[in-house]
Amino acid sequence: MDALNVLILGANKYEFIDQTSQRAVKGTSVHYCQLNEDVSEERVGFFPAKVVFPYEYFDTLKGVKFPCLAQASIQLDLSNKRNPIKVTSFLIKDTVAIKM
């Protein structure tokens, strides 16, 4: 298992009934940015990404001050050609102070 240093921007939990299938949908979305700048002919800067965890994962983030620095544990999924890197968990390292 490998790891990435990331900035977690925030997280939200959700729960709703899918109107088409009438199935209950719930989970936790965590929004983050990798700390290596994305520079190419078409892009510059940092771009947010989202990973979805089970609904209960939200409880592990209670009390965390956002944004925060974290280490993201990742697995490579070569069957997913669009996004082969899968984040499996976060280890919170430090908070980040934003001055306005």
* Residue 83 pLDDT greater than 80, yes or no: no
In this prediction, residue 8 has a pLDDT band, given cuts at 50, 70 and 90, of very high
Neighbouring residues of 96: CB distance < 8 A, sequence distance ≥ 6:
7, 67, 68, 69
Residue 71 has pLDDT above 70, yes or no: yes
Summarised one tens digit per residue, pLDDT across range 21-62 is 999 999 999 999 988 766 778 888 888 999 999 999 999 999
Average pLDDT along the chain: 90
% the chain with pLDDT above 90: 66
Residue 74 CB neighbour total at 10 angstroms: 18
Q: What is the C-alpha separation between 67 and 57, in angstroms, rounded? A: 17
The domain 2-17+24-95 having CATH identifier 2.40.128: the answer here is: no
Cα 29 to the center of its chain, rounded Å:
7
Question: pTM value?
Answer: 0.85
Q: What is the pLDDT of residue 38?
A: 66
